[in-house]
Amino acid sequence: MAAAPERMPLHHRMLASVGEPVIHVADTVKGIMRTFALTLHYTLRGRKRWDAIFEQLHEIGNRSVIFIAFTLGFLGMILIYQAGYQAMKITGDLQLLGGLFLQLLLRVFAPTITAMMLATRVGSGMAAQIGSMVVTEQVDALRMCAAQPVDYLVVPRFLASIVMSVVLTIFAVLVSYLAGAMVANTAFGVNFYTFFDMSFVGWFDVNICLTKALVFGATIPVIACQAGLIVTGGSEGVGQATTTAVVNCSLAVVILDFVISGLGYVVLNLL
């Protein structure tokens, strides 16, 4: 008769239930840092494949324009409507609406929401594409042809994402601000001259916006490609990688948003 499996003591099971996710998170972070280091290495030292970079610029940038315009445009309209409605109820003064909205857009909404949208549209696509290349042995074939997968697959996406994240964030600011201006004008009668008040916006806001866009642009492809490169199994593994990519990219964007904002205010106070 086979021996019954030994049952783990309760405190061991409790420790295991805490330890397992901690180890999983540590492994994921380690993998992402390794891919990031390799990406930097090949970005600086590898051969630049301009055709692949331009292809990715088109894929990440041009094909996200409508998506970003709709998302940020509607977000701008909703925010202005809500903010205007509250301001009307409390003070009735809408003179600061445009200036403060632009500051909020630059500091938080434009880079963060654009990055979230890129994580959803571009990050999932990268993980799925590279993941399916792994399960169909195309990544092994690359390695057998002496091509490094990180150099060949990640670096063009990394460079294109950095460029396009900045460009799309600037575009998002414009679209959201204009959409907000139209709602402010039609719903609350705020004239455009009053709305386009730049007095609240300084170089700090522009710097924070561009820094966030740049960092998010560098983070999303690394996390998404890493999720694709470690796919195991078949289509189920690719599906999991896609989900993992979107979740990890979104988490990274939120955490980095907090860190960059915090550091920004520290720097601002020092100046």
- Report how many residues bind other proteins under the rule CB under 8 A: 13
CB neighbour class for 100 (10 Å; exposed up to 12, middle 13-18, buried from 19): middle
Q: What is the CA radius of gyration of the chain?
A: 23
Q: Is 8 in the site for other proteins (CB under 8 A)?
A: no
User: If you ran DSSP here, which 8-state letter would residue 185 be given?
Assistant: H
Beta carbon nearer to other proteins, 38 or 75:
38
For 143, list phi and psi in degrees, rounded to 5. -65, -35
Q: Is residue 31 at the binding interface for other proteins, with CB under 8 A as the rule? A: no
Among candidates 213, 249, 255, 212, which has minimal Cα distance to 228? Answer: 249
Q: Taking CB under 8 A as the rule, does residue 144 contact other proteins?
A: yes
Confirm or reject binding of residue 251 to other proteins (CB under 8 A). Answer: no
Q: Which of 28, 148, 207, 240 binds other proteins (CB under 8 A)?
A: 148
Candidates 20, 27, 140, 236: give the one binding other proteins (CB under 8 A): 140
Binding track, positions 75-114, relative to other proteins; x by CB under 8 A: ----------------------------------------
Question: Which stretch, 84-92, 143-151, 155-163, 215-223, contacts other proteins (CB under 8 A)?
Answer: 143-151
Find the angle CA(207)-CA(210)-CA(214) to the nearest 5 degrees.
135
From the number of C-beta atoms within 10 Å of its C-beta (0-12, 13-18, 19+), residue 158 rates as buried
Which one, 57 or 142, has the nearer CB to other proteins? 142
Query: Which span (58-66, 90-98, 119-127, 138-146) binds other proteins, by CB under 8 A?
Result: 138-146
CA distances from 128 to 52, 122, 139, 199 (A): 18, 10, 13, 45
Which listed residue (66, 145, 270, 271) binds other proteins by CB under 8 A?
A: 145
Interatomic CA distance for residues 247 and 77, integer angstroms: 27
- The whole-angstrom separation of Cα 102 and Cα 107 is 9
Residue 253 C-beta: closest distance to other proteins, Å: 28
Give the nearer residue to other proteins in terms of CB position, either 148 or 194.
148
DSSP SS3 for 235: helix
Residues 131/237, Cβ–Cβ less than 8 Å: yes
Q: Is 136 in the site for other proteins (CB under 8 A)?
A: yes
**Of residues 88 and 142, the one with the C-beta less far from other proteins:** 142
Shortest distance (Å) from residue 252 CB to other proteins = 27
Q: Which of 14, 137, 192, 236 binds other proteins (CB under 8 A)?
A: 137
By CB under 8 A, tell whether 141 contacts other proteins. Answer: yes
* 26 near other proteins (CB under 8 A): no
State both tokens at 241.
Answer: 């990688």
3-state secondary structure of 152: helix
20 lines the binding site for other proteins (CB under 8 A)? no
**Cα–Cα separations (whole angstroms), residue 173 to 108, 178, 180, 190:** 11, 8, 10, 19
143 binds other proteins, rule: CB under 8 A: yes
What does the binding site for other proteins look like in residue numbers (CB under 8 A)?
133, 136-138, 140-148
